[in-house]
Amino acid sequence: MMNRIKKTHYGWWMATIGMVVNGFGSMRQSTVPIFFLPVSKELGVSRAALSLIFSIARLEGGIEAPLAGWLIDRYGPRFPTVLGIIVGSLGFIFLAMAQSYWAYAIIYLLMISPSSNIAGAHAMHAVANLWFVKYRTRVLSLFSGSIRLGAALSTPVVAFIVLNHGWRNGAVFAAIVTLIVTLPPAFLIRRSPESMGLLPDGMRPEELVEESGQDTRPAVGEEITADFTFREALFTPSYWLIAFSTMVRLSLNQGVRVHVIPIFVWKGLTEQGGANLLGLMAFLAVPLILTFGWLGDRFNKGPILLIGHVATVIAMLTIVNFHGIGPLIVFAFFMALGESTAPVNHSIIGEYFGRKAFATLNGLLQTVGMIGLITPVFAGWVFDNTESYSVALLTFAAVAGVAVVAMLFLRKPIKVVDRVVR
């Protein structure tokens, strides 16, 4: 048994650490929609005004993401992960002390949002891309699945605390659990397999060439594909099609996520019922994410991204046009299906452009995503003026439809190195 443990490629230990960090770290993320209505009522602010905080956070994330990517590419993922856990957890404790809208906004934007942007997903995406080639999408799916599983398990618990003991106690609970569980394993993160004398996937050099199509010692007269530099990737149409797809997914996701419990209440559920359905949505995403991870390592990733946008269209049209618990469950399923393509969205950057500039290129996607930062404010404004989310959700459906068309044109770019002599 001990020999088997010792022989386990360290990349799988990294994957386990990433799942723990993401899974329990998601507790803080899942509290945002749970807090929305209680905070709005206690602080006396409109849904549009409260949504503005999260839209500014998206803008902030778009500015910070490329910097975070560059730092991770240069120094590795451990430091930003540790820093993000500490600052984010302290931010939630301070958030519980906020007595005004402006205090809530400042704490969220100066502590919680930056910690999530600099650490969190960015760092874990880099871990998957650095430590895996053959299993890149599957590991990313494990990371994303752990986020959803963590949210599915924690959402009802946090909702119970918020609704029975106040949102402030819920914030403190989420902060303490996150800090205790995720900080110790974060210190075990290592920069790359090469820093430990290893290769991605635990492969031998010849296996790495076979899986990645990249040979560091090319034969005489041989043309090979290679990693794109950051600049080279920016001049490919493929990168910008992926960026548009990412913008749509992030924007619509943010617009719905911030308001998801208010949307469920609008459709007739209680706040606890809405929280339970949100937990179900997260739970449904877990097997879907793992399935897409498996498919993404075997088949073309472009059609998978297309499926995600189609699912979003179906979800929006369903919840607007039908009533009752059945359509709400259908909505939850298709929203989960749309969100489940996220690992493929990130792994396609590694597959198309290589490992060299992955974190920087992935970070820039977040910058592009800030174009849609208005979605939560837009949804809140629509409800404040119409007492309905219909117009907002139908608009989201139309935007997702455009993304469906865009994904039909996605193709893998090829960078060919000049003929070389060994």
Q: Could you read off the pLDDT of 198-209 as tens digits, one per residue? A: 777 666 555 555
* Measured distance CA(83)–CA(95) in Å, rounded: 18
Closest CA to 265 of 321, 339, 337, 319: 319
Is 421 a domain residue? no
Is 84 a domain residue? yes
Q: Could you read off the pLDDT of 384-413 as tens digits, one per residue? A: 999 999 999 999 999 999 999 998 998 888
* Measured distance CA(275)–CA(290) in Å, rounded: 24
pLDDT of residue 178: 87
Q: Which ranges of 132-270 does DSSP label H, i.e. alpha helix?
A: 136-165, 167-186, 205-212, 230-234, 237-266
pLDDT of residue 212: 47
Is 422 a domain residue? no
Is 163 a domain residue? yes
pLDDT of residue 287: 87
User: Around Cβ 291, how many Cβ atoms within 10 Å?
Assistant: 15
Is 418 a domain residue? no
Three-class SS of residue 262? Answer: helix
Tell me which residue range forms the domain holding 290.
Answer: 2-407
Is 420 a domain residue? no
* Measured distance CA(262)–CA(279) in Å, rounded: 15
- pTM for the full predicted model: 0.67
Contact indicator for 240, 233 with CB cutoff of 8 Å: no
Amino acid identity of residue 86, one-letter, is I
Is 416 a domain residue? no
pLDDT of residue 400: 93
What CATH number should be reported for the domain holding residue 18? 1.20.1250.20
Is 414 a domain residue? no
387: left (phi over 0), alpha (psi -120 to 50) or beta: left
* Measured distance CA(55)–CA(255) in Å, rounded: 9
Number of independent structural domains in the chain: 1
Beta bridge partners of 225: 416
* Measured distance CA(104)–CA(221) in Å, rounded: 62
User: Around Cβ 418, how many Cβ atoms within 10 Å?
Assistant: 6
Q: Give the residue carrying structure tokens 């949002």.
A: 113
Q: Where are the beta strands (DSSP E) in 188-228?
A: none
pLDDT of residue 219: 43
User: With a cut of 70, which residues of the chain have pLDDT below it?
Assistant: 1-8, 28-31, 61-66, 117-122, 201-226, 369-372, 415-422
